[in-house]
A and B are shown apart, each in its own frame.
Chain A
Amino acid sequence: MEISIKGLNKNYYSEGKTIAALDQVDLIIPANRIFTLLGPSGCGKTTLLRCIVGLEMPDSGEIAIGGEVVFSTEKGIYVPPDRRGLGMVFQTYAIWPHMNVFDNVAYPLQTRNEPKDDIRRKVEKTLHFVQLDGFEKRPATKLSGGQQQRVALARALVAEPKVILFDEPLSNLDAKLREETRKELRAFLTELKITAVYVTHDRIEALSLSDTVAVMKSGRIVEMGTPREIYFDSDRRFVADFIGRANFIEGRVATVGEGETTVDSAIGAIACEKKINASPGAAVTVCIRPEFIRVLKADHNVGRNIFRGKVESLVFVGDAYEGEIRVGETLLIFRIEPTTAVREGEEIALHFDPRHCSILLN
């Protein structure tokens, strides 16, 4: 089900100051896809999620879930969370410690007074789906972090909600488990074909889980697109910086050609194949991610986007070498194959792939 949000505002007042948690948010969350709200802490992503689910009351605006208006200041509508028919997985999982796994998962059905046999059947089916067969009688607090997480997921899914919401559900797991659970979650959600809204500050989670990513900053949605679009073609420096490590080189547009734009910068002319709506002379920033910098032999000087520099530092991180190259006054970060023969202090040539040089408007 599609969620449409219009002109949503929410302010917090603390010690005489007003903080805009949501600033005039307009958003359409597409149906049956995994939609991620990504942003640094305090950007308003959790507030937006809590407004959708009904735990937070916006100051103004309208929220409709699948065509049904659940909140509107104009029409004076506020549907409480228990009437919205949604499922939610909390950051803390919010597993009730005084109930066993069965009662935790059965709870949404029990609130609807469904027949006992139906409840048993549905709980069994859902627990099977999240691979917790036979866990019904276990006390909820005796489960591991990953298992509690799956109980929370089962509870959110059992009543077959229209929409399922996730508030940073993986942030309490350790790194390895987080990776496994992320893959599982992706598999579950893809199989279910359900509208999922996922809040996270972890870019890898956002990129690997989502069909659509919306990046938020100071209560606004800054940019929205598929993970590839956000990673490769973001228009804003904030987004490009937040979604991954990148080099930013200031410059001015020199020429705008067919399928290629040249930018004059401190390290020389940079050719970029990305499309851009800027005329010559405009101040721009070229963004190049460290993995798209190729290191060549020092005498290599044929072709476009070739620069000379000196390796300032080099760190072996296992699957790659990471380091810094000084080109003139500019320090660039790069990441290369672990087998490459490069040494610290070595003079080298480097090459930017024009297909991966994006231009950000200042």
Chain B
Amino acid sequence: MDFTTREENGVTIMNLEGRLDLASGSALKEHVKKLFEEEKTSIHLNLENVEFINSSGLGALVSTMKEARIRKGRLTLSNLANYVQEIFEITQLSHIFEIYPTEKEAVNSYSQAAVAK
């Protein structure tokens, strides 16, 4: 799996590409851990190019989300392919993740949340 990372309006956006499984899930957790250590706690993951996800990949996302909560940050997801969305629904993880149809909507939600505060 490949990660590309960029900043937009204070949100760190990661584009994930490839399979999200045991090995790449561990790599993702390490990558996000470094972002947290750099005080970057508003993180968005664009999953548009994730071609495959299994329970190990889901576990990595859950771990990342829990770490974000501990650090009073946020983790959002967007652009889930149909089969990825299906796995989120059957595992009920769609209830605990903030999932947006598009990256733009997800990133906008951070500024809207800041205004609301």
**Is this pair of chains taken from one and the same complex?**
no
Chain A residues near B (Cβ < 8 Å): none
Chain B residues near A (Cβ < 8 Å): none
